[in-house]
Amino acid sequence: MTATLAVIVPVYNEIGNIEPFYERTSKILESLPVSWQIVFVNDGSGDGSLEAIRKLRTKDERVKLITLSRNFGYHAVLLAGLSLVPADRYAMIDVDCEDPPELLRDFHAAIEAGADVAYGIRSNRVEPVLVTFFRRVFYYLNRGIADSDIVVWMAEFAMITRQVRDAVVAPRTTYVFLRAEIGYVGFSRVGVPYVRQARTSGKTHYNFWNMTRFAVSGFLAGSTFPLRLILYIAAVAAVIFPLVVWVGGLGPASTASLASVATFYFALLALSTIALYLARTYKNGVARPVFIVDKNKTDL
């Protein structure tokens, strides 16, 4: 029986990329021994992307469309596609073709050879030196503090089997970070190196602020180390503070002043960190849906 493959494609104001992506990707998929569908997930686009996808669907019924009720964000889009579409295998790829669709062949070959996850390993790309530096810091720091395995240089450009998909969508969290989930669930993985290409059309939606928020989300999704760090700092301070007082020969007044300043900054750090995790716990408790589908604009 022929395996089925669903290619999940996030779309947010990408009208200039949709048709070129389809033309390029469908040629690759036609060469694979699978029954495929391209699932565009429209994340509240307002530039005509919805109409462009519908136009493609009139030509090819293997083009599927999921439209969310508003913009929910990148990981919510991927989760929507993975959750709503039945298939034996799933691929995730951006519509701008920075991640080359041709790599889907290599992913498929790796899955056929027994891997459960085949993913792209990004090499350096043309970007500001400072961005490259902080990107490296993010990956290595995230791996160093993660509670479970983190795959370095892995993005969401990947192909996974049904059992991996089932494990990834199982957690009921409102803070989805798929690369952390894929690292956590384990299974056999194969990385395929590639060079990221230029966008087919338009400008990236990521700026430095969005990258920073993304990095913080990655840390919080995969690690409780920041919470443990509070304890480590307190333990170190308990040893160092008396030494500073003794070596410095501080009197009662100076000791009290130093203790007040140290306590203030420690409380600032501790309360801020706890507040971040508490907010996430609260939202998980409220359990609002990660995404909401607009059924009137969805064709599966």
| pLDDT, tens digit, 9 for 90 and up, residues 30-72 | 999 999 999 999 988 888 889 999 999 999 999 999 999 998 8
Give the separation between CA 50 and CA 12, rounded to whole angstroms.
Answer: 9
Residues whose CB is less than 8 angstroms from the CB of residue 177 and which lie 6 or more positions away in sequence, other chains included: 75, 217, 218, 221, 222
pLDDT at 112 (0 to 100): 92
3 forms beta bridges with 34
Q: Which residue has the higher pLDDT, 26 or 254?
A: 26
CATH (residue range 3-210+290-297)? 3.90.550.10
pLDDT at 260 (0 to 100): 87
| 250 pLDDT tier (thresholds 50, 70, 90) | confident
| pLDDT, tens digit, 9 for 90 and up, residues 23-39 | 999 999 999 999 999 99
| pLDDT, tens digit, 9 for 90 and up, residues 181-199 | 887 788 888 888 887 766 6
Give the separation between CA 227 and CA 223, rounded to whole angstroms.
Answer: 9
> What are the domain boundaries of the chain?
3-210+290-297, 225-286
Strand 89-92 with 117-122, pairing: unpaired
| pLDDT, tens digit, 9 for 90 and up, residues 188-242 | 888 888 877 666 665 666 556 666 666 676 666 667 888 888 888 888 888 888 8
Strand 63-67's sheet: what is its strand order? 63-67, 34-42, 3-11, 89-92, 154-161, 117-122, 189-194
Q: What is the mean pLDDT of residues 169-177?
A: 79
